A and B are shown apart, each in its own frame.
Chain A
Amino acid sequence: MIMKYKEVIIGIGAGIIGYMAIIGIDILPFIFLIGFSAALYFIAGGQLIKVKNASVGENKKESFISFDDIGGQEVAKKELCEALDFIKCSDKIKALGIRPLKGILLSGSPGTGKTLLAKAAAQYTNSAFFSASGSEFVEMYVGVGAKRVRQLFDQARQSAKKLNKRSAVIFIDEIEVLGGKRGKNHSHQEHDQTLNELLVQMDGISSDEDIKILVIGATNRSDMLDSALMRPGRFDRVVKVDLPDKKGRAHILKLHTRNKPLAQDVDIVSIAKDTFGFSGAQLESVANEAAILAMREDSKVITSVHFKNAIEKVMMGEKLDRLPSSDEKKRIAVHESGHALVGELIFPNSVASVNVASRSNALGYVRNTQEDDMFLYTLDYLKGRISVSLAGAIAEDVILGSRSTGASSDFQHASDLARHIIFAGMSELGIISPEDLPKDKLHEAISSILSDVEESTMELLKKNMDILKRITDELLDKETLTGDELKTLINGKAA
């Protein structure tokens, strides 16, 4: 507020000082004081004044996002809507004696649309919407965080009154910064005070108030939150916001391509299939990158090729100009061909593309896809994945007679999968207690799984040596092979 009318305040100050000078008051002490304050302000980098006046929370008037604009997250939306109905139909819930919800915690991975859900919640309930980030409450000065919490709640109430709304939604993003477990923070006194103030403010929300306040918190570390914050009466509901499934991804992609000209060959469902594990934000990035690629090529429509390249760019980063030597390039091609061949043989239709073009930290890569989302893994599936991971190094061994350092991350991945098998009780050790398992036993079990899989993979590759060589040659020639081209090569239909 003060900063908004800075020039007027300076003008008034100058007017007062000028008047004092004219009527004969000695203004030197005032000038000294003003100069001293200005020097302090500049030395502190503007912080002194900011700390005094800073408040958190921003009233978003422009957030016209409805639940229909959010793709996927059907379960989260349903649960959130149910909770929000308590605010919308306050008379009904009063009649039934239901205590209104005070807070909803949205928990999930980054980029899954928690902020969008909160904005849609404000729109759904026709509430004033205030958003703040947990880090905005963190300050080196004791008491400032607590003051900001109070200010945020006051602002929300006043703003709702001004806008003639009956309720206000306060959205606190990254709430783990503010609501982390007490006593574990280095600056715990200030941190605890801030959290205590939030708890007090949430306790103060009653159903009888003119303005109903709902606090929506978002976090991707719900395990870090203080138990007091999670108890009923504070954050009454925890809504899990997961990565979208295939249907959800297709919905998100449809939303993000609404305003983009798509070519006839673009199949959203197929793109959704190729983007397993992508968050809403990543899918938005895919749609955007595809449009950028189309613009680069002066294309008026976005084609499926643009989308495929965009997926790879979002997943692996921008294509680099880094050129490995011809020997290295061959080794990379052999390595990736090994992954691709074994992948396609064990999990048919699982390879989306094979590349030997450098992107980010990878010299080459195989992008996998899967027909349907999976939530449970069998022993055969996990062993198959280990086999795919080891196949790169084994292919190098089979064709070039030696291995390279390029496979270290593959081995790490294979070891993790083997550990998963052991801890799930699917190894020769049977059901075990992960905490009580001696390290050497674990090592032996992992080695045993890996050597078994290595042996079978070696056999598989030796049996398909011709196809492996054919894929390597084709890859060296083209740099990129699509899943369909790979299948054609495996089936021996190549020229």
Chain B
Amino acid sequence: MNTTAVKLIKGMSAFIATLLILFGAKFLWQNYSITIPLNKELMIIGEVEKIIVEKPLKIHEPVSIIVSLNNVSNFQKTYTEINEKVAQALENRHYKIHINDNSTNELDKLYTDISLYVEKSLIDGNFPELVEKGQKLAEAIDAETIISIDDIYIYVHIAKTDKDLYKLVPRR
């Protein structure tokens, strides 16, 4: 084998080894600094059934946290608690929380109907009307709708037997 080929192989090996080392180190670091602390913090919350952490490939992308909920009586309280715990675990890092539900087509359709009143309430601020209309529409299909509001979101929880739909609507 001539010298040029040996040099080329050495250079390529160094290139591949560097990439492997850097990505390996990144995986381990993300595991210890993101996944483990998030699991530790969120699994304390009783309503949290399962969490999936999607680590970002790119440096500026947010950490994506998919949370599956179970037996939620107060969606607003549960979400606020989850948000606080995530913020505490990830400190200054950007993140996105996705609430995973087990919705059905029927519940989805119901939310589509409710969403019109959600949009209307965002414009005219008539939230009591939203709550009233939501409950009325839910009763029509033997479901239950719990709508609550804070400064940031409108929390919509629609439940029918063991099926749930959770929606977070930003107020701005």
Contact = CB atoms under 8 A, between A and B. Distances in A.
A7 B11 contact: yes
Interface stretch (A20-28, A37-45, A300-308): A20-28
A12 B18 contact: yes
B13 A11 contact: yes
Contacts of B12: 11
Contacts of A24: 57-61
A15 B10 contact: no
B27 to A, nearest CB: 12
B8 A7 contact: yes
Contact of A15 (B17, B60, B61): B17
B10 A23 contact: no
Contact of B15 (A18, A22, A25): A18
B2 to A, nearest CB: 13
A89 interface: no
A11 B7 CA distance: 10
Contact of B14 (A12, A19, A25): A12
B59 A19 contact: no
A9 B17 CA distance: 12
A432 interface: no
B22 A11 contact: no
B138 to A, nearest CB: 44
A19 B22 contact: yes
Contact of B10 (A11, A18, A22): A11
Contacts of B60: 24
A19 B15 CA distance: 10
A15 B16 contact: yes
A14 B10 CA distance: 13
A3 interface: no
B13 to A, nearest CB: 7
B26 A11 contact: no
A35 B60 CA distance: 27
A19 B18 contact: yes
A8 B11 contact: yes
A263 B92 CA distance: 93
Contacts of B19: 15, 18-19
Nearest to B16: A15
A12 B14 CA distance: 5
Chain A binding surface SS class = helix
Nearest to A6: B7
B14 A7 contact: yes
B23 interface: yes
Contacts of A18: 15, 18-19
A10 B15 CA distance: 8
Contacts of A7: 7-8, 10-11, 14
Contacts of B26: 23
Given A11-B18, A12-B18, A16-B18, A23 B11 contact: no
Nearest to B20: A15
Contacts of B18: 11-12, 14-16, 18-19
Interface string A190-215: 00000000000000000000000000
Interface string A292-326: 00000000000000000000000000000000000
Contacts of A11: 10-15, 17-18
Interface in B1-51: 7-8, 10-19, 22-23, 26
A25 B22 CA distance: 14
A1 to B, nearest CB: 15
A16 B19 CA distance: 7
Contacts of A22: 57
Contacts of B13: 11
B88 to A, nearest CB: 25
Nearest to A14: B15
Contacts of A10: 11, 14
Contacts of A16: 18, 22
Nearest to B6: A7
Nearest to B8: A7
Interface string A218-248: 0000000000000000000000000000000
Given A7-B14, A25-B59, A15 B8 contact: no
Contacts of A12: 14-15, 18
Contacts of B15: 11-12, 14-15, 18
A10 B7 CA distance: 10
Nearest to B17: A15
A18 B21 CA distance: 13
Interface string B44-79: 000000000000011111000000000000000000
A176 to B, nearest CB: 39
A395 to B, nearest CB: 64
A209 to B, nearest CB: 39
A316 B125 CA distance: 114
A10 B11 CA distance: 7
B152 to A, nearest CB: 28
A34 B81 CA distance: 49
Nearest to A16: B18
A23 B14 contact: no
Contacts of B17: 11, 15
Question: What 3 pairs across the A-B complex have the smallest Cβ distances?
Answer: A15-B18, A11-B14, A24-B58
Interface of A: 7-12, 14-16, 18-19, 22-25
30 contacts: A7-B7, A7-B8, A7-B11, A8-B10, A8-B14, A9-B14, A10-B11, A11-B10, A11-B11, A11-B12, A11-B13, A11-B14, A11-B18, A12-B14, A12-B15, A14-B15, A14-B18, A15-B16, A15-B18, A15-B22, A16-B22, A18-B18, A18-B19, A19-B18, A19-B19, A19-B22, A24-B57, A24-B58, A24-B61, A25-B59
